[in-house]
Chains A and B, each alone.
Chain A
């Protein structure tokens, strides 16, 4: 028996994410893989393997919405939508009280304001600069010679965070290195870097107004150090969905389910 289903696919700069829903919007499968070069091949492979796992065929897929930087070159899509629309839709589905979504992706961060119906009323994206993005954290983790996963935990252990004045990825790295040279601990430098990124994100999100509930999406939401620093900078709680990385793909899939039903 065949199950009609829909795809939401988010092809980002660092990872590809896919969410499979049935026509009623129930979750059938989801997955995350490294993007590799361009992301298209990784997305296709992820889609094939998730369908196989569930015993579904490509013919069962009635609608596919693709988002993220690789959206323009994905062949199997019926429609492409911006990450703004998809992250808003996904976050609102999971947390209907959300009014501000902060999405921190590999190369972009975005702040989105929603109204009570879940509609996007305003958004802001980072300027042409990597500060406040996943890439910033990767570069800084490398500078401190720790894994990206350890990096956030390390920040929480700090007793006296150093001050990193610059939010430019390149200059912040040299600042971090000079702090290390002056004998600062890894923990204190890590914490300083997390505060710098949080301050940058706070500035971005303030442009659209920081109305509660704030939901943080994107892979960087997995970093406990960023979540803590951001909540402190905003002066309010920040909600992290169970699987923050796939919120954009979920939103895309919800759009697809809506279209697929028509």
Chain B
């Protein structure tokens, strides 16, 4: 018998919200400039200046989930981009070179580009390629990698760049920053982030009300609509529904016998199919490291100061020992019995070091971990049988333990 997910009632609202976002970017800009933004860029500043953001990474995930990423990747590869390059980058570049063949005909042409290397180095070259293609001004926010501690000089360096960013947007768009508006946007952003954090924390319940694919699907607004009233409303509704599940003892999967942790970006092209392999063993991913990346508050105090520290310290910009602590903490907080790490061909900064994190986390918690090789969007890197064999062996090990 095929085991099914319980669909969330807020699914329709999520779809309307996301469709509205992409429709607005193309048709309802009302004179507002459009920025292509990397997922780790301080979008609050742009929103406060009346700039509409769209996210090529979210667009890439969408192409992956629709199983349309491969031909876009091939288009980019035909232009000389390496098949080893991130599949979000290849999907985005492919859609830019051939927008007729791309979902929604690609993203609308940008007026400006803002990227931040707190998530990876690839975004820098990727956005440079976009800038060259469209002849669009590009701002690169450089956040030093945190090997040990976040130091005052890093803070100063990033904060000064935020001032540069304001001047850059002013010059590119002729719009000025309204500080009052920025305060409101940051407040909305923090509300969204709190709600998202609370929703994730509700999954500490047994059975967990959500499974990883639910988290992955529902993270879209926290990425692309952070700092908007629409995102706050959506997460209020989602939280109410998840609370109701917890109150009624309703789990995300029919029977929860194993609680697992997920590391790395989702396998978008096999989303439900892949996680269903685990559902067949009554295993639910109650927590992950990926969607927690957006549960990051802008600290109170000076606005630029807060934005600088929030964006400079995200987990992908931190050391392996920081990431190991994160996994170890989540294992105990969510009481999980095993963890699965997606060794994602696309995402080198996230995947490099997983073997070390796996070993350290198992040594410290006694909880075993499995590494699965795949790619978030490029389904050519997914070998069904090899993946299933590993999952089966891992689940047999957990069941025997």
- B385 proximity list for chain A (CB < 8 A): 69
- A125 proximity list for chain B (CB < 8 A): 386, 389-390
- A127 proximity list for chain B (CB < 8 A): 373
* A residues 91-128 in Cβ contact with B at 8 Å: 108, 119-123, 125, 127-128
In the complex, identify which listed stretch (A78-86, A163-171, A193-201, A236-244) lies at the interface while the others stay far away: A78-86
- A84 proximity list for chain B (CB < 8 A): 393, 396-397
Interface string of B377-395 (1 = CB under 8 A from A): 0000101011001101110
A85/B396 in contact, CB under 8 A: yes
B355: Cβ under 8 A from any A Cβ: yes
A–B pairs, 17, beta carbons within 8 Å = A82-B393, A82-B396, A83-B389, A83-B393, A85-B397, A85-B400, A119-B400, A120-B393, A120-B396, A120-B397, A120-B400, A121-B397, A122-B362, A123-B394, A125-B389, A125-B390, A128-B386
A207: Cβ under 8 A from any B Cβ: yes
- B362 proximity list for chain A (CB < 8 A): 122
B401: Cβ under 8 A from any A Cβ: yes
* Bound-complex Cα distance A121 to B368 (A): 8
* Bound-complex Cα distance A69 to B362 (A): 29
* Minimum C-beta distance from B348 to chain A (A): 16
B383/A128 in contact, CB under 8 A: yes
A123/B397 in contact, CB under 8 A: yes
What is the number of residues of chain A that contact chain B, defined by CB distance less than 8 Å? 16
- B392 proximity list for chain A (CB < 8 A): 81-82
* Bound-complex Cα distance A192 to B385 (A): 31
Residues of B whose CB lies within 8 Å of any CB of A are 355, 362, 368, 373, 381, 383, 385-386, 389-390, 392-394, 396-397, 400-401
Residues of A whose CB lies within 8 Å of any CB of B are 69, 81-85, 108, 119-123, 125, 127-128, 207
Chain A residue nearest in CB terms to B392? A82
* Minimum C-beta distance from A217 to chain B (A): 15
* Bound-complex Cα distance A123 to B368 (A): 10
* Bound-complex Cα distance A85 to B400 (A): 10
B383, B397, B401: residue with the most chain A Cβ atoms closer than 10 Å:
B397
B362, B383, B393: residue with the most chain A Cβ atoms closer than 10 Å:
B393
* Bound-complex Cα distance A120 to B385 (A): 21
A119/B373 in contact, CB under 8 A: no
* Minimum C-beta distance from B382 to chain A (A): 10
* Minimum C-beta distance from A105 to chain B (A): 11
A81/B396 in contact, CB under 8 A: yes
* Bound-complex Cα distance A83 to B386 (A): 12
Chain A residue nearest in CB terms to B390? A125
- A69 proximity list for chain B (CB < 8 A): 385, 389
